[in-house]
Amino acid sequence: MLDPTMILAAGGGGGLTDVDGAMVLWTWITFGIVLAVLSKFAWKPILNALDERESHIRQADENATKIKQELLEVHAQREKIIAGADAKAKDIIAAARDGAVDEAETIRNKARDEAKILEENATREINAARDRAQAVLRADTAELAVKLAGMLVGENLDDQKNQVLVDRLIKEL
């Protein structure tokens, strides 16, 4: 085997900075051939794949932007619907509250009217009972007066006897 230190010691190799013209020429020829082969068979498919990838990424970005815009519109519509539903619910609650207040007022007025009717009926009954009692009292008083007058006329006595008779009749009653 060749030992690299031996080649250097024998003076057969060159240094790192030594340039060999033939090697440079072959390097450039090899590079050109590789470049031509790559350009003919690999460079165009690679560029086409990169162009397709770029267009796919661009299309995905546009789709993402459209979707984002649609989501913003949907969110705005949702907020609008929620606000509308909230306003409608508040209107329903206010209408129900107003209806309840009106119904309470109607019930209160009806109860007040019924109490007034009951009071008027009771007053009428009391007045009728009072009138009947007064009529009975008048009849009894008239009857009593007639009896007393009849007794006084039947026993026409002096004032002292009349007084004694009245006192006796009062005690009997």
Residues 18-42 have pLDDT tens digits of 888 889 999 999 999 998 888 888 8
Within-domain flag for 155: yes
Torsion sign (Cα): 113, 114, 120, 124:
positive
Residue 91, domain member (yes or no): yes
CA distance 149 to 168: 14
For 155, which DSSP code? T
Structural domain boundaries, residue 64: 53-172
161 vs 64, residue with greater confidence: 64
Please count the structural domains in the chain. 1
Rounded CA-CA distance 128/134 in Å is 10
Q: Find out whether 7 and 13 touch, Cβ atoms under 8 Å.
A: yes
Rounded distance between C-alpha atoms, residue 72 and residue 152, angstroms:
117
What is the end-to-end Cα distance of the chain in Å, rounded? 171
What's the chain's average pLDDT?
Answer: 84
Q: Which residue has the higher pLDDT, 50 or 171?
A: 50
DSSP 153: H
Establish if 1 belongs to a structural domain. Answer: no
pLDDT digits (tens, 9 = 90+) for 57-79: 999 999 999 999 999 999 999 99
